[in-house]
Structure 1
Amino acid sequence: MSYQTIKLKKEGRLAQLILNRPDAMNAMDEVMMKELADAFEALQQDQSVQVLLIHGEGRAFSAGGDIKKMVDPTRPMEIDKVMVDVSRLALALYRLPQITIATVHGAAAGLGFSLVLGCDYIIAEEESKLAMNFIGIGLVPDGAGHFFLKERVGVPEAKKIIWSGKVMQGKEALEVGLADEIVVEGQALKAGKLYAEKLLASPIAAMIATKKILHDGKIADLENILKLESESQIAMRKTTDHIEGIKAFVEKRKPVFVGE
């Protein structure tokens, strides 16, 4: 299968999925969201691949959802359709029969951060910037951001992270449990490949079986959260605060929110 916005390369039992919109810091438009969902669903059926390494082309992992596309008056984003693909990609990622490794350089924000958090092992560079920053434009996390955060840090800490929209560098992400390994700038992908080699030299079939046991029991919770995220995101897109947040972002100013 050929893709416009991602690359999927297979090398024996290892596959690499590369976000490939470097000129836009790998911001996710409708095409990328659909292609990620398609790629993950295809990998669900591929028993020959045991490790999936996910990284971004260029100077960032992913800046999140493509805000410029959200405000494009010539081709407005169809939020209902988009949320279907966002939910598809999150569910398929969580159900993958491969061990997934995210290697983060530059920014991993919004939906990009949700994608990172959905992976089994996260390697981040010290200078990387990780943020669940939907709140800045009056939205809720999607891509199972709520689910993945509470899985890693618990509900009370998840609420703090979501509500603050705080930008964390690699070391802080490690300290709060949102990264598993920190490396110096420029070394995340190399470290990811080394970890993949270590996994492939291990009894990985047993490791994958453990992942399935632990994940399958939580699918119903994940599906419910994805449903609630979709409903909430569609509703939030119509709010005064979201419209103000988008305008402020485009105009490079501080937003004035009114709680509506």
Structure 2
Amino acid sequence: MYSTIEMTKEDRLARLTLNRPDSMNAMDDVMMKELADAFESLKTDKDVQVLIIQGAGRAFSAGGDIKKMMDPESPMDIGEVMVDVSRLAKALYELPQITIASIHGAAAGLGFSVALGCDIILAEENSKLAMNFIGIGLVPDGAGHFFLKERIGVPLAKQLIWSGDVLNGKLAKDKGLVDELVPDGQVAQASDMLAQKFLNAPIAAMLASKKILHTQKLNELEDVLRMESEQQVAMRRTEDHLEGITSFVQKRKPTFIGK
């Protein structure tokens, strides 16, 4: 059914795996659309009550696929991409399941936005988390602004977005970006144990509280997604963005000029 993700269901537990391990699960236009479709399908699934999101191979997700952005043979249409990015973020926030992000390796850019959109974030001690859009002259998308503000507030969100700093699991937990820190190599097991804990609890009441808390924020989320889409399209046309992605591919330090 999907080519870049896998989704399995075990009774009341669903597991969604980002499955482009050769590119550290970097998100191309196909994966973004498939994630949006998968989350939207779960919105009407009355049987599943917990969803674990994880990455195949050595990372959760390295973020947007920069090489695909620069591919002259099949360039990604930024307008179409942002429609799917907004769809996946909104559907993720509206899911009637408890969502668990199970992070090992890198969770960067849009991959980090997806993790932040989950109810609970588990990360290994030496995982690398970064809202690193600034490095290529872009703004966070996938509701990164909204999810960061919800977790750590506006002042810290600005600092993280503007710096693009890469945080290890411990530092991310200290800043409130991770809920549970686990030793390297153990996040899958810890995520499964947490999922079972929820499934053995009065989870219907928990999900009712989630709906109450999230529903009142939907208008704000939609406003953020609209503004992120507009600004991402605008930033993609800047000289700084071109310099950012060119220097990334060439593995050199960028020279930004503020245009």
TM-score normalised by the chain length of structure 2: 1.00
| 2:224 is aligned with 1:225 | yes
Segments of 4+ moved more than 3 angstroms: none
Residue equivalent to 1:258 = 257
C-alpha separation in 1, matches of 2:17 and 2:194 = 17
1:76 & 1:35 partners in 2: Cα distance? 18
- Aligned runs of 1:22-101 on 2, under 5 Å? 22-101=21-100
* Correspondence 1:208 to 2:178: no
Q: Counterpart of 2:100 in 1: which secondary structure?
A: strand
Deviations 1:35-60 (A, max 9, x none): 00000000000010000000000000
Look up the equivalent residue of 1:148 and give its one-letter code. Answer: F
Could you list the per-position Cα deviations for residues 157-184 of structure 1 after superposition, in whole angstroms to 9, with x for gaps in the alignment?
0000000000000001101110000011
The aligned counterpart of 1:115 is 114
- In the alignment, the residues of structure 1 paired with residue 146 and residue 3 of structure 2 have an alpha-carbon distance, to the nearest angstrom, of 29
Q: Secondary structure at the match of 1:7?
A: strand
Give, in whole Å, the separation in 2 of the partners of 1:47 and 1:159: 37
- Unaligned ranges ≥5, structure 1: none
Q: Residues 116-195 of structure 1: matches in 2 within 5 Å?
A: 116-195=115-194
- In the TM superposition, residue 254 of structure 1 has moved relative to its aligned partner by 0.3
How far 1:77 sits from its partner (Å)?
A: 1.1
Give the unaligned 5+ runs of structure 2.
none
RMSD: 0.3
Letter in 1 for 2:62: A
Q: In 2, Cα distance between the equivalents of 1:187 and 1:131?
A: 21
- Mapped to 2, the partners of 1:76 and 1:209 lie a distance apart of 42
**What is the CA–CA distance in structure 2 between the aligned matches of 1:209 and 1:172, rounded to whole Å?**
32
Counting matched residue pairs gives 259
2:4 matches 1:5: yes
* Deviation digits for residues 204-253 of structure 1 (CA, Å, limit 9, x no counterpart): 00000000000000000000000000000000000000000001000000
What per-residue deviation string (whole Å, max 9, x for no partner) do you get for residues 64-93 of structure 1? Answer: 000000000111110000000000000000
Overall identity of the aligned pairs, in %: 69
The SS at the match of 1:172 is helix
* CA deviation map 1:114-162 (0-9, x unaligned): 0000000000000000000000000000000000000000001000000
